[in-house]
């Protein structure tokens, strides 16, 4: 392995690696105390905001009235019964809700007739504890540095020490993936990757977010003299569009890590492909989940209402964009016009500026949760995608690769069903999936990762590596298909 780190970085590595090895070896399972026994200033964020909430799985089989009520964004629902929709399954007829006990009682009382009786199961009972257990052991409020980034060649921050430790002075260590990582740690890890593999990895800062964070693209490109005479096929892989979906961020990072491992064994294997990775497609929102609200979804820009922040980036793209029925404080707020979400505009501007450099053949957008592979279109089930049969066949091939890797089943379905676009069209409008498929990419999918509901957005860190392995297996299949189509 080439080691192109600065002398300062190497010295820092040598100093901390032994301490890290002692603390992490033979420590696969992290035991957490209950958050209520820990002093408030030693907790990662304010957890009292979740203490009265549960996550309930509501079955709406044969009850479209209930389904419509739960998905509606009208004022009636906000005034009468407060809750947040986590996920929904068209095939299994359920909706997962984050709701407190008082509002759950109101919801049950609203649907008491035999025709519309509400049936539900509690899938997360102690939500605050589940939130607490997704942070790295010992991560405290005072460790948070709001609005700051780790610059290139900077090795002073303790988060960088964590990164260097986790690699055991070697980028080919899985220890980095034992826990979820905050934004500054991810950026430092990517800096080290770039310095270690300058011949194939380039970090591009393509814009600034509302809170002035860098929007980073990882360009992975293997140079090969023979391949230069043939057009390379670009594959785009993104994660973290919705801030709380941490497993999507870690899975993009694990894919980069796995590809570098594979490149070491087969240096020319990726010669005919270019990769653009965006591990954190929502830097401001992701940072906010680490220092304020673990379950935040949108970005963090100012909206038309002074006290309401954030636009749903995945409702902001200019393809069948529809003004959302959600208000500016709501989780599905689309903004007032296409590309109002700064991150979506940065990405579109970048693609337009580099159109000749990147002929995009594949687009994979990682989300969570529900273990699904979604293909276009999201905005309507009445519009059939081009080459639909092959699109579905490729999706099932990816699902099979995942199943062979870890035994997990990922269902294949059109994105419009997942978005319930037949019921409320604005739920599927303006998605990155549809925009990329229609304008840029020949093959495009959204993968919703683990799990199927017992943890939801709060998948424990012990699943980072298994999910990373199964997603990398699916992406390998996807790449082979693109190369040999």
Please tell me the predicted confidence (pLDDT) of residue 422.
Answer: 78
Domain total in the chain: 2
72 and 173 together in one domain = no
Whole-number Cα distances in Å, 123 to 69, 297, 451, 477: 21, 20, 12, 33
What pLDDT score was predicted for residue 162?
53
State the pLDDT at residue 151.
41
- Pair 426, 418: CB distance under 8 Å: no
Q: What is the pLDDT of residue 157?
A: 42
SS3 474: helix
Residue that is last in its domain, among 89, 117, 133: 133
Left (φ > 0), alpha (ψ -120 to 50) or beta: where does 26 sit?
left
- Same domain as 176, residue 125: no
Q: Does residue 6 fall inside a structural domain? A: no
Residue 142 lies in a domain: no
Quick one: what percent of the chain has pLDDT higher than 70?
85
Per-residue confidence (pLDDT) for residue 430, from 0 to 100? 97
In a domain, 115, yes or no: yes
Residues 411 and 280 in one domain: yes
- The Cβ of residue 71 has, within 10 Å, a number of other Cβ atoms equal to 19
Give the domain range for residue 276.
166-484
Whether 4 is in a domain gets the answer: no
Look up tokens 């907790």; give the residue: 43
Token code pair at residue 440:
């840029």
Q: For 267-280, give one letter per residue: b (16+ CB within 10 A) or e.
A: eeebbbbbbbbbbb
- Whole-number pLDDT of residue 15: 36
229 and 370 inside one domain: yes
332 and 444 in a single domain? The answer is yes
Low-confidence ranges of the chain (pLDDT < 50): 1-27, 75, 145-157, 159-160, 168
Encoded tokens for 410: 């990922």
Helix or strand (DSSP H, E) at 214: strand 214-221
First CA to last CA distance, the chain: 33
Query: Is the domain of 271 the same as that of 327?
Result: yes
**Measuring CA to CA, which residue among 108, 134, 142 is closest to residue 50?**
134
Residue 286 in domain: yes
Residues 263 and 385 in one domain: yes
- Measured between alpha carbons, how far is 409 from 433 in angstroms, rounded to an integer? 22
pLDDT at 101: 93
Please report the DSSP string for 238-297 in residue order.
E--SSTT-HHHHHHHHHHHHHHHHHHHH-TTTTTTEEEEEES-S-HHHHHHHHHT-TT--
- pLDDT digit string, tens, across residues 386-430: 999 999 999 999 999 999 999 999 999 999 999 988 778 888 999
Pair 289, 181 in one domain: yes
CA distances from 394 to 82, 372, 390 (A): 40, 14, 6
107 with 183, same domain: the answer is no
Q: Are residues 62 and 170 in the same domain?
A: no
CATH number of the domain that 384 lies in? Answer: 3.40.630.10
CA 398 – CA 405 distance, rounded (Å):
11
Inside any domain, residue 41: no
Is position 2 within any domain?
no
216: in domain: yes
Q: Are residues 222 and 90 in the same domain?
A: no
Same domain, 266 and 347: yes
Radius of gyration from C-alpha coordinates of the chain: 22
Nearest one of 138, 152, 164 to 16, comparing CA atoms: 164
CATH number where 63 lies: 3.30.70.340
Q: Determine how β-strand 233-238 pairs with β-strand 360-368.
A: parallel
């Amino acid at each position: 392995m080439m080691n192109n780190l600065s002398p300062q970085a190497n010295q820092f590595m040598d100093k901390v690696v032994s301490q890290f090895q002692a603390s992490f070896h033979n420590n696969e399972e992290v035991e957490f105390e209950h958050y209520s026994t820990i002093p408030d200033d030693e907790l990662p964020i304010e957890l009292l905001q979740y203490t009265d909430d549960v996550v309930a799985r509501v079955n709406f089989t044969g009850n479209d009235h209930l389904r419509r009520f739960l998905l509606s964004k009208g004022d009636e629902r906000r005034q009468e019964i407060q809750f947040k929709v986590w996920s929904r399954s068209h095939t299994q007829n359920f909706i997962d809700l984050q709701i407190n006990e008082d509002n759950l009682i109101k919801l049950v009382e609203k649907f008491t007739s035999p025709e519309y009786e509400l049936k539900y199961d509690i899938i997360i009972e102690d939500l605050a504890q589940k939130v607490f257990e997704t942070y790295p052991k010992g991560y405290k409020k005072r460790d948070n540095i709001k609005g700051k980034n780790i610059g290139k060649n900077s090795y002073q921050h303790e988060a960088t020490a964590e990164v260097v430790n986790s690699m055991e002075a070697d980028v080919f260590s899985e220890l980095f993936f034992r826990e979820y990582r905050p934004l500054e740690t991810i950026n430092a890890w990517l800096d080290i990757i770039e310095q270690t593999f300058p011949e194939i990895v380039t970090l591009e800062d393509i814009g600034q977010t509302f809170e002035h964070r860098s929007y980073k693209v990882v360009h992975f490109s293997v140079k090969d003299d023979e391949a230069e005479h043939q057009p390379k096929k670009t594959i785009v892989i993104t994660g973290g569009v919705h801030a709380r979906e941490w497993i999507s961020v870690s899975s993009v990072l694990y894919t980069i890590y796995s590809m570098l491992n594979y490149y070491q064994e087969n240096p020319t294997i990726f010669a005919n492909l270019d990769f653009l990775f965006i591990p954190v497609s929502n830097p401001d929102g992701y940072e906010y989940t680490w220092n304020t609200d673990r379950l935040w979804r949108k970005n963090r820009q100012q909206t038309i209402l002074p006290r309401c922040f954030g636009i749903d980036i995945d409702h902001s793209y200019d393809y069948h964009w529809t003004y959302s029925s959600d208000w500016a404080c709501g989780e599905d707020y689309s903004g007032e016009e296409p590309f109002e979400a700064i991150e979506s505009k940065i990405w579109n501007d970048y693609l337009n500026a580099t159109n000749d450099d990147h002929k995009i053949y594949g687009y994979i957008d990682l989300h969570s949760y529900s273990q699904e592979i979604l293909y276009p279109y999201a905005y309507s089930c009445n519009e059939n995608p081009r080459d639909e049969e092959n699109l579905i066949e490729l999706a099932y091939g990816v699902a099979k690769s995942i199943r062979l890797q870890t035994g997990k089943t990922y269902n294949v379905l059109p994105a419009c069903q997942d978005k319930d676009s037949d019921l409320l069209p604005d739920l599927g409008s303006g998605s990155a999936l549809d925009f990329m498929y229609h304008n840029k990419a020949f093959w495009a999918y959204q993968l919703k990762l683990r799990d199927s509901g017992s943890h939801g957005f709060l998948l424990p860190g012990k699943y980072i590596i298994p999910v990373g392995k199964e997603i990398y297996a699916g992406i390998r299949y996807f790449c082979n298909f693109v190369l040999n189509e």
